[in-house]
Amino acid sequence: MKLVTIIGARPQFIKAEPFSRMFRKENEEVLVHTGQHYDANMSDVFFEELGLPKPDYHLEVGSGSHGLQTGRMLEKIEEIILKELPDGLLVYGDTNSTLAGALAASKLHIPVFHVEAGLRSYNKLMPEEQNRIVTDHLSDLLLCPTQTAVDNLEKEGITAGVFNTGDIMYDAVQRNIEISKNRYSDGAWLDELRDEGGTIPSLKEKEYYLATIHRAENTDDDTKLREIFSAFEKMDKPVLIPLHPRTRKRIDELNIQLNNVTIIKPAGYLLMLYLTANAFMVVTDSGGLQKEAFFLKTPCTTLRDQTEWVETLENGWNSLSPIDVKTILRTVSRELLCVQHPQPRLFGDGNAAEHICQILLKGGE
């Protein structure tokens, strides 16, 4: 079987590695990197650490408005499909890269295979929600990470070609967490956090919050951004936050004071796994990090009003928080009863890549 696979953003690099490793044993995969994430710390490092094959095509689309970015990808992906003539096109998740790939293939009558199908936040103001809905309705095989995702599709009348494969990101975490521990234990993780002046942050395992803030609904809203960092300043433990330069610029523009916060550049996958596993709690607006925290049994607070990963909310492993200082602090300081109970197994058996390969090769039978 010959596939064109579209990737373009950090979470997709992580998801792609388990599948590519399995699929390429007996099949042909043409890997297309759209360049949606183009910073070295958000892109190149993942290929190096994960051993992901070098892309056959790099579109170098870069940043831009949603319409501009998606349109450029659509044009270039169409050219690749016409040249490669694959048996199908595979996409991951809910990015503009995913939407562009699905549109290009569908219009050329090439089957679309969507890994991580069926997610819903039920907030159509989110561009990710728009992307995933359209992609699901264009897809021929819908490869769902959870039963909730299967149920979401059924509500929209999509039942043909739907499979619960388990979550492929769970495959990646299981495979890489021991590598991460071997690389960053015995204080090596602190050396990695050394700033340009040579200073190492005074952090201890399980005695810091790991935070990430990247969604436009938070970073582009002055009031929300101030509330978030005001809450960080009042937390009972130091806050470590890998921060994209764009968000750092916003903080400087708003003259936000950082006393309880240590900012580092975006971290590679293996370091991020270690930081997540050894945090007291994760505080984030990221969908992927909510799951990784759950997989690594680290409690999480999500700075959003809804989540597409509702499974993580069971037993309080994850809790949603609207953006105001008092609510954030109250949610973060909740009693963590979750750690006293066995964690429910909701994301499959850790062999999603194998299940997906079997479904594709059997044509969805």
CB atoms within 10 A of CB 206: 11
Q: How far apart are CA 307 and CA 339, in angstroms?
A: 21
Give the mean model confidence (pLDDT) for residues 237-258.
90
Give the mean model confidence (pLDDT) for residues 254-273.
92
As annotated, the residues of the chain forming the CATH 3.40.50.2000 domain(s) are 2-167+348-361, 175-340
Q: How far apart are CA 43 and CA 195, in angstroms?
A: 21
Domain covering 2-167+348-361 in this structure, CATH number? 3.40.50.2000
pLDDT score of 43: 61
The model's pLDDT over 11-27, given as tens digits with 9 standing for 90+, comes to 899 999 999 999 999 99
Residue pair 249/220 in contact (Cβ under 8 Å)? The answer is no
Q: How far apart are CA 354 and CA 264, in angstroms?
A: 36
Question: Which bin fits 316, alpha (ψ -120 to 50), beta or left (φ > 0)?
Answer: left
The model's pLDDT over 299-332, given as tens digits with 9 standing for 90+, comes to 999 999 999 999 999 889 999 999 999 999 999 9
Give the mean model confidence (pLDDT) for residues 67-93.
96
Active site (catalytic) residues = 214
CATH topology of domain 175-340: Rossmann fold (3.40.50)
Tokens of 220: 């582009």
Taking each continuous run of H as one helix and of E as one strand, the counts in the chain are: 15, 13
pLDDT score of 7: 95
The model's pLDDT over 271-303, given as tens digits with 9 standing for 90+, comes to 999 999 999 999 999 988 999 999 999 999 999
The model's pLDDT over 147-205, given as tens digits with 9 standing for 90+, comes to 999 999 999 999 999 999 999 999 999 999 999 999 998 889 999 998 767 788 889 99
On the question of pLDDT at 227 being above 90, the answer is yes
Give the mean model confidence (pLDDT) for residues 243-269.
89
What 3-state DSSP class applies to 114?
strand
pLDDT confidence band for 92 (50 / 70 / 90): very high
pLDDT confidence band for 40 (50 / 70 / 90): low
